[in-house]
Amino acid sequence: MIEMKHVSFRYEAGKEILDDISFRLEAGESVGLIGANGAGKSTIMKLLSGILFGDGEVLIAKTAVNPKNLYEIRRKLGYVLQDSDDQMFMPTVYEDMIFAPRNYGLSKEETEERIDAVLEKLDLKELKHSRNHKISGGEKRMAAIATILAMDPEVILMDEPTASLDPYNRRLVINAINSLSQTKLITSHDLDMILDTCGRVILLDQGKIIADGKTEEILRDQKLLEAHRMELPLSFTRR
Amino acid sequence: MNKIDQALYEFREMDELADQDSLVHRFPVLPKVLLTILYILIVLSFHKYDLSSLSVMILFPVFFYQLSGIPLRKCFYKLRFVLPLVMAVGILNPFFDHTVIMKIGPLSVTGGWISMLTLMLKGILALTASFLLVATSGIARICAALRRMHVPSVLVTLLLLTYRYITVLSEEVSVMSNAYHLRAPRQKGIEYSAWGSFLGQLLLRSMDRAEEIYQAMLLRGFHGHFHYVDEKPASPKDWLTGLLIGALIVFCRYYNVASFLGSLFVR
């Protein structure tokens, strides 16, 4: 469903941000992309969504990501940004939710049906006509996920979905992620959340893949994590 | 709350005003936009000495503000920075136009004074009408109505995004201003020496955020024009109501209602 083949990226005259990255995600897989700051996680997300282009091949649902077919690629892909304020750019949750379906040519009726189903699924019906600046940070994050689900994407990219959320809202977001059947690639420093939501983890450091395997195995490997400026998840240190 | 936060709060309050419910709020936006444009054009068309006829046009905002439940004082409060500019437009007229228009006892009233008052009134009426439109409709519905009027998509999108980016810019100013004052507690404003870097940082941060928002739009299929919330189209009854109000506005322009009312009391 998602594939990167020998992808490298550098900003002009800068140092290499990504160096020969290759991985593949099967349909329905939920994968965590972890690494210290500057490891290259966000760059991978930007390459997958066609915000940046590098060397090598990037495929989403067997379609190559290139400037010519961005419209098609982005129809299959939803990207939940780290900052929900940037994601929610319309005045109300409803207007934000209809934005993508209407851009992709869905009729008014189809759009209504779809957003009602998404709001029902995420238990957000009461937020439908709320003003974006009036809802809390947690609600905004859930609403941002809802705007992406309204696109009915095959692949969902999430950048720090639980950043700056309180425990209650963090749990709501984790439950929402677990309820999604799409292929998911999630970047986060919240390793406990990764443990709860992802069956597989890719560990990055300085633009290279250091480890790729089962979440439990990688996140229990204290030496490996510490060698790459990370720590064991809190749920492991407490045991 | 600092001044920027206060400004942001007031700006967002416009959306809350638009969420209220009244006859004026429920009236479809397309005829409302057309009526506002007609009203402003009619107000601007009055002759510079025709203050008495123009004064009748005050009745429209007074009536519709009452009907909408939005206090007129709220409008004047929110427009407090713009109104002095409007007032200043005709301020030099009394110095240049000495034509005596009428006499009140021994006092000669010159054309300059009358035209100054007319210009001021025109500005105030145009602003109050525009404010009422925004406060009872909201920017998204106005943009949708403008698109239905075949205003070019690029202009309407520009209007909507300008409205959106005002809050983005204000939020950045607010964050930076708070960060500055937390480390300069005894300063009232921002020191002149810091203005350059403050504005530079503001520009860079705003550009970054604007870019993020634009990317978020592109990622959700944006390709140049917005799909607005579908509003129930105006019914024949709405159009008839709009037509009657429009006719009344035009009537007040061509029939001197003020002098008719005056003749009822003064022979």
pLDDT of residue A238: 63
Please list every residue in chain A whose beta carbon sits closer than 8 Å to the beta carbon of residue B213: 86, 89
Cβ-based contacts under 8 A for chains A and B: 65
B167 and B129 assigned to the same domain? no
Does the pLDDT at position B179 exceed 90?
Answer: no
CA angle B126–B128–B132, rounded 5-degree value: 120
Same domain membership, residue B50 and residue B156? no
* Residues B158 and B132 grouped into a single domain: no
Strand-pairing partners, residue A86, are none
For residue range A164-209, what is the model confidence (pLDDT) as tens digits? 889 998 999 999 999 999 999 999 999 999 999 999 999 999 999 9
**Domain CATH for A133:** 3.40.50.300
Residue A32 to residue B143: CA distance in whole angstroms = 41
- A-interface mutation test, from B143, B159, B175, B227, most A Cβ less than 10 A away: B227
Buried-state track A150-159, b at ≥16 Cβ within 10 A, e below 16? bbbbbbbbbb
Chain A: residues touching B (Cβ < 8 Å): 49, 51, 70-71, 74-75, 77-79, 81, 83, 85-87, 89-91, 94-95, 98-100, 102-104, 108, 131, 133, 147-148, 151
Q: Which chain A residue shows the shortest CA-CA distance from B164?
A: A89
Which residues in chain B are closer than 8 Å to A95, comparing Cβ atoms?
Answer: 140, 229
**How does pLDDT run across B228-245, given as a tens digit for each residue?**
776 778 899 999 999 999
CB-nearest to A89 from B138, B164, B227 is B164
Total count of domains within chain B: 2
From the list B19, B216, B220, the residue facing A103 with the nearest CB is B220
In a domain, B7, yes or no: yes
pLDDT at res. A218: 95
What the block records as the tokens of A70 is: 């961005």
Q: How far apart (Å, rounded) are the C-alpha atoms in residues A82 and A145? A: 11
pLDDT the model gives residue B41: 97
Which residues in chain B touch residue A86, judged by CB atoms under 8 angstroms apart?
209, 212-213, 216
Judge whether residue B36 has pLDDT over 60. yes
Q: Is residue B209 part of a domain?
A: yes
- Residue B161 and residue B105 share a domain: no
A89: helix, strand or coil: coil
Is A128 buried (19+), middle (13-18) or exposed (0-12) by CB count in 10 A?
middle
On whether residue B215 sits in a domain, the answer given is yes
A239 pLDDT more than 60:
no
Q: Is the domain of B29 the same as that of B110?
A: yes
Chain B hits for A109, CB-CB cut-off 8 Å, are: none
Q: What is the model's pLDDT at position B130?
A: 95
- Name the residue among A181, A221, A228, A225 with its Cα closest to residue A205: A228
Contacts of B171 in chain A (CB under 8 A): 85
Using the predicted structure, report yes or no on whether residue B162 has a pLDDT greater than 90.
Answer: no
How far, in Å, CA of A182 to CA of A140, rounded? 21
pLDDT for the residue A142:
93
- Which residues on chain B are in Cβ contact (under 8 Å) with A103? 220-223, 227
Range of the domain at B259: 1-137+235-267
Interacting residues of B101 by C-beta distance below 8 A, sequence separation 6+: B49, B109, B110, B111, B114
A147 chain-B contacts, CB cut-off 8 A: 220
Residues B42-46, mean pLDDT to the nearest whole number: 94
Whether residues B65 and B4 share a domain: the answer is: yes
Q: What φ, ψ does residue A192 adopt, rounded to 5°?
A: -65, -40
Q: Is B167 on the interface with A (CB under 8 A)?
A: yes
pLDDT, chain A, mean: 92
Q: Is the dihedral of CA A223, A228, A231, A235 positive or negative?
A: negative
Give the range of the structural domain holding residue A145, as residue numbers without chain letter.
2-237
Chain B: closest CA distance from residue A150 (Å): 10
Among A133, A141, A151, which would you mutate to test the B interface (most chain B Cβ atoms within 10 Å of its Cβ)? A133
Q: How far is A112 from chain B (nearest CA, A)?
A: 11
How many independent structural domains does chain A possess? 1
B4 occurs within a structural domain:
yes
CB contact under 8 A, A81 and B216: yes
Q: What local confidence, expressed as pLDDT, does residue B174 receive?
A: 87
Structure confidence by residue, pLDDT tens digits, B51-98: 888 999 999 999 999 999 999 888 888 888 888 888 787 888 888 888
In this complex, is the C-beta atom of B218 within 8 Å of any C-beta atom belonging to chain A?
yes
In a domain, B143, yes or no: no
Query: Does a structural domain hold residue B145?
Result: no
Q: Taking CB atoms and an 8 Å limit, are A133 and B167 in contact across chains?
A: yes
Considering only the beta carbons, identify the residue of A87, A103, A151 that sits closest to B223.
A103
**Closest partner residue to B222 among A91, A94, A103, by Cβ?**
A103
Considering the domain architecture, whether residues B266 and B174 belong to the same structural domain is answered as: no
Contact across the interface for B139 and A91, Cβ inside 8 Å: yes
The C-alpha of A95 sits at a distance from chain B's nearest C-alpha, in angstroms, of: 7
- Please check whether residue B101 lies inside any domain of the structure: yes
- Put simply, the answer to whether A99 touches B222 (Cβ < 8 Å) is yes
Same domain flag for B175 and B133? no
Q: Is residue B267 very low, low, confident or very high in pLDDT (cuts 50, 70, 90)?
A: low
User: What's chain B's average pLDDT?
Assistant: 88
Q: Is the pLDDT of residue B43 over 70?
A: yes
Q: Each residue of A51-86: pLDDT tens digit?
A: 999 999 999 988 999 998 888 898 899 999 988 988
Q: Where do we find the tokens 């503000």?
A: B65
Domain-located, residue B192: yes
What's the average model confidence in pLDDT over A29-41?
A: 94
For the segment A205-220, the average pLDDT, to the nearest whole number, is 94
B21 touches chain A (CB under 8 A): no
Task: Name residues whose C-beta falls within 8 Å of residue B208's C-beta, 6 or more positions apart in sequence.
Answer: none
Interchain CB contact of B45 with A (< 8 Å): no
For B110-129, write each residue's pLDDT tens digit.
888 999 999 999 999 999 99
Record: contact A94-B229, CB cut-off 8 A: yes
Q: Please list the alpha-helical segments (H only) found in B106-152.
A: 111-137, 139-148
